[in-house]
Amino acid sequence: MKLSKFLMYANLPDGSVAIRQTMDGGLMALDVEEVDAFQRGDLTEFDEDEIELMKDQLFIRDDDIDEGKILIHEFEKTWHGGDTFILHLMPTNNCQLGCPYCYEDGICRNSNMNQSVEEQLYPWVHDYIKSRKIKTLRLVWFGGEPLLRAKQIERITPLLADIANRLSVAFETQVVTNGVLLSDQLLKALSAHNLQRLQITLDGPQRVNDRRRFYKNSNRGTFTKIFQNIRMALSGGYIEKVDLRMNIDRANRIYIPELIGFLAEQRLQNQLKLSIGIITGTIPREECGGGANNYFQTFGFSEEEAISAYLEIAAIAKASGFEILDQLAFGPWCIARHPNAWMVGPNGEIYRCLSMVGRDDGILGHLPDVPSNRPNELETINRMHDCLKKECPLVPICGGGCLFENHINGNTCPRNLLTKINQGLIRLNYE
């Protein structure tokens, strides 16, 4: 028997050590002396029941098992066997808010999806599903701010649902929105077509959020309206849980605990799924009026600041009764790695990466074609092989890192950030 390649260790407050198997999620704790023996591969220190547990949780493997090959095989199986068509639709790249850190800030051309693009969309979706082994069509409304085109959403959604129904595939909807324009009418229309996810952002208590997420034309804040609409979505039974995104940087970090306290006072622990988003750099586009990258240079975290802030906020959220992640995966298995995931922009342009929307170098093609120059699995597999050679235990939750980060920063490895945040999450979650 041999130890798994994919083991992460975290010291616990009681002096013991927790070990997570990062590929399969197993978790166990050993005292310091046991850990020392375990890391030496000396299993004589453990009784039969403990060894069986280690085998079951894949902390130890047979000598002839190659975990790297298993990981690559699972990725290939997912790639070639993916049966969900994830379609992000961007009916507009306009947004009524002026958030200074927005990675879409600086898009040169503001556009709305017109009738011609709509007419190309329906046969494109139909033919894509029919030509592949698709079992689910997942429609994700995205922007810009998609609800600026609410009528269009209400028109397109049932037509795509009908295509799915005629082809005998499941259909579900999701919305990523700033939340300002949510309405009973729209939520009712979406919930009639299997609304599964609603993501909305608040960046702090009212006085802080309103300095960051405000209307472009008036600088008026948005907190009150957004929170009212979150309440409406929950109380109306349109969705069981709202995904609440909290984007953090040095300008608002110290105020996020106050927001969490407010949400806890509202007894929303079981109705919100909190997500901590670390503001990162983007591609400078100052020639188009964008200043998001300048904002990041001023208020962005260093890596150690990001680790500290993430874990501090996660600890406060858990102490306040909110569920937190067991394990953080940093950009590995996003839609850019999914075999049947595409984003269609307002002009019919097709992207693989959400972070590249509105940028010419991110466009892979246009409707009604399916791009032939799509990233393939070999790119990811080669990156994973490189990481496996370095004997990094994080490959299952990193997959070679974020393709967009690699695009703007070179071959950026998130190993330190992922290690420290995940060690912290182990400590927070271990019972």
Beta bridge partners, 422, equal none
| pLDDT tens digits, one per residue of 104-117 | 765 656 799 999 99
Interval 120-142 mean pLDDT: 96
23 and 163 within one domain = no
Q: In which domain, by residue range, is 37 found?
A: 1-65
Whether residue 147 contacts residue 92, with contact meaning beta carbons closer than 8 Å, is answered with: no
Residues 49 and 114 in one domain: no
Identify the weakest region by mean pLDDT among 26-35, 140-149, 326-335, 340-349. Answer: 326-335
What is the spatial distance between Cα 133 and Cα 146, in angstroms, rounded to a whole number? 29
Q: How far apart are CA 333 and CA 70, in angstroms?
A: 17
Per the structure, the count of domains in the chain is 2
- Over its C-alpha atoms, the chain yields an Rg (Å, rounded) of 23
b/e per residue 314-352 (b: at least 16 CB within 10 A):
bbbbbeeebebbebbbbbbebbbbbbbbbbbbbbbbbbb
Spatial CA neighbour of 285 closest among 124, 430, 422, 105 = 105
- Mean pLDDT along residues 229-239: 97
pLDDT of residue 163: 98
SS3 content of the chain, % helix, strand, coil (to 5): 45, 15, 40
Same domain, 114 and 259: yes
Lowest mean pLDDT among 56-65, 241-250, 273-282: 273-282
pLDDT (average), residues 329-349: 82
User: pTM value?
Assistant: 0.93
pLDDT in tens, 342-362: 999 999 999 988 888 878 888
Closest CA to 140 of 370, 306, 335: 335
User: Where among 40, 65, 90 does a domain terminate?
Assistant: 65
Q: Name the average pLDDT for the chain.
A: 91
Please say whether the beta carbons of 175 and 141 come within 8 A: yes
Whether the per-residue pLDDT at 287 is higher than 70: the answer is no
Boundary residue ending a domain (317, 333, 366): 366
Question: Is 423 domain-assigned?
Answer: no
- Comparing 281 with 37, the larger pLDDT belongs to 37
Chain centroid to CA 274: how far?
Answer: 12
Is 207 inside a domain boundary? yes
